[in-house]
């Protein structure tokens, strides 16, 4: 997949402002960004649901016709929450969708349902499905197209922890089998777990693009919460240590940031000063810190994103 120079405006709102994204076969590319960054608009353009004002898209070597788009064979996925006809069963929904793809194999539908764990509920009407079940069905619908390119928008939303693990394992397996995956997500742990590369967007622009390893390497020191027997004295000691930043936290203790070596020295200094360290916990992982730094999101925003 190769999207180049994509621009999309909705009235006075610029949703995308010259976005370039490229995904290669056998790789999972994470698409990150806060709400309103333009991730969903980008996916909608890739599916031909939204026409860009400028730029071009090539999917599996085929130029996407934005006037009367027909999604190339081999491209599958979903954008936002997958939707189906509520008055039909899951199996019937897949049957109709596969009819549109000219795939008339009942066996393949059964396999897809089995793979996403919906075999037992396949004959129930979709109207009664939970969000997680719809997510699974969405993936089954995408898999019916035997995708060489999989475009997914937050596929683990609504899934239970076991479902999340299964979904991530499946995506990794598909990528290992040669499928290119573009995975829009809010979850940094998902990026860390599944993705090979990351594209971070902010206000309709790509602000960072590269591998997960590079993102980790460039990530700033993590924020830690430090609770001691004497926080005021611990703050004074921190000011005397190079490379250690500490501020008093309104809720509890101090928020400390330092690279590992300097943090070790600081903690030892606290012990020597007779200050007991009661708790030292990670507030934001390195990747999250990087995300917040790149997107200008605060930790509150981070909490909101995680919740989403």
Partner 1 sequence: MAYSASERGLAETSAAPRRHARFAGVGRSWRVEMAKLISQLPLRILAVACLLAPIVFVVVINSQSAVPADTLFGRWVHASGFAIPLVVLGFAGSWGFPVLTGVVAGDMFASEDRHGTWKTLLSRSCSRSDVFVGKVLAAATSVAVLVLLLCVSSLVAGVIGVGAHRLVGLSGTLLSPGRCLGLVLASWAIALMPVLAFTSLALLLSVATRSGIVGVLGPPVIGTVMLLLSLVGGGEIVRTIMLATAFDAWHGLFTEQAYLGPVVEAAVVSAVYAFVCLAVAWRILRRRDFAGVPGGARPGWALPTRAVAASAAAVALLAVLANVGPTAITSKRLEAAINTTFDNLTILQQELLGRAVPANRSLSSGANCRRHGGGTSNSGPGDDWVCTITIVVPPPRPDTIEVTYDVRVRPNGCYTTEGPPSFIGQRVLPGAHGALNPLFQFDGCFNTT
CA–CA dist 193, 197 (Å, integer): 11
| DSSP E strand boundaries for 79-166 | 149-153
Residue 294 beta carbon to partner 1: minimum distance, rounded to whole angstroms: 23
Binding to partner 1, residues 179-198 (CB under 8 A): 180
- Report the largest interatomic distance among the alpha carbons of the chain, rounded to a whole angstrom: 75
Answer yes or no whether residue 87 interacts with partner 1 by CB under 8 A: yes
Distance, CA of 91 to CA of 73 (rounded, Å): 21
Q: What proportions of the chain, in percent to the nearest 5, are helix, strand and coil? A: 40, 25, 35
In the sheet with 149-153, reading across from the earlier edge strand, the strands are 75-78, 149-153, 180-184, 28-32, 197-202, 205-211
Among 64, 90, 97, 200, binds partner 1 (CB under 8 A): 97
Number of other CB atoms surrounding residue 52 within 10 Å: 23
Least distance from C-beta 237 to partner 1, angstroms? 48
d(CA 256, CA 4): 41
Is residue 304 a contact point for partner 1 (CB under 8 A)? no
Per CB under 8 A, 99 contacts partner 1: yes
Cβ at position 227, least distance to partner 1 in Å: 40
Question: Least separation, in Å, of the C-beta of 196 and partner 1?
Answer: 13
Q: Which of 152, 156, 150 is nearest to 179 (CA)?
A: 150
The answer to whether residue 82 forms part of the interface with partner 1 (CB under 8 A) is yes
Residues touching partner 1, count (CB under 8 A): 56
Which of the ranges 60-68, 159-167, 194-202, 299-307 carries the binding residues for partner 1, by CB under 8 A? 60-68
What is the per-residue binding string for partner 1 in 14-33, x denoting contact by CB under 8 A? Answer: -x-------xxxx-------
- Residues in contact with partner 1 by the rule CB under 8 A: 1-2, 10-11, 13, 15, 23-26, 40-41, 44, 47-51, 58, 60-62, 65, 67-74, 76-88, 92, 96-97, 99-102, 141, 145, 148-149, 180
């Amino acid at each position: 997949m190769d999207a180049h120079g994509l621009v999309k405006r909705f009235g006075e709102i610029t949703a995308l402002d010259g976005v370039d994204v490229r995904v290669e076969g056998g790789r999972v590319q994470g698409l990150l960004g806060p709400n309103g960054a333009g991730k969903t608009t980008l996916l909608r353009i890739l599916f031909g649901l939204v026409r860009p004002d400028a730029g071009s898209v090539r999917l599996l070597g085929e130029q996407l016709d934005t006037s009367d788009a027909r999604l190339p064979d081999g491209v599958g996925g979903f954008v936002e929450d997958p939707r189906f006809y509520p008055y039909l069963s899951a199996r019937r929904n897949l049957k109709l969708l596969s009819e549109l793809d000219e795939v008339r194999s009942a066996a393949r539908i059964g396999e897809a349902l089995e793979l996403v764990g919906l075999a037992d509920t396949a004959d129930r009407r979709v109207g009664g499905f939970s969000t997680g079940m719809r997510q699974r069905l969405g993936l089954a619908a995408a898999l019916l197209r035997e995708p060489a390119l999989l475009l997914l928008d937050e596929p683990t939303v609504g899934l239970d922890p076991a479902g999340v693990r299964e979904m991530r394992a499946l995506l990794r397996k598909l990528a290992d089998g040669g499928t290119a995956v573009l995975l829009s997500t809010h979850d940094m742990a998902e990026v860390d777990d599944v993705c090979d590369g990351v594209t971070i967007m902010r206000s309709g622009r790509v602000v960072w693009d590269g591998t997960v390893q590079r993102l980790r390497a460039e990530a700033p020191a993590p924020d830690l919460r430090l609770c001691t027997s004497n926080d005021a004295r611990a703050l004074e000691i921190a000011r005397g240590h190079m490379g250690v930043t500490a501020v008093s936290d309104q809720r509890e203790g101090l928020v400390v940031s330092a690279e590992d070596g300097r943090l070790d020295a600081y903690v030892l200094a606290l012990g020597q000063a007779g200050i007991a360290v009661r708790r030292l916990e990670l507030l934001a992982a390195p990747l999250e810190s990087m995300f917040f730094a790149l997107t200008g999101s605060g930790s509150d925003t981070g909490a909101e994103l995680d919740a989403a």
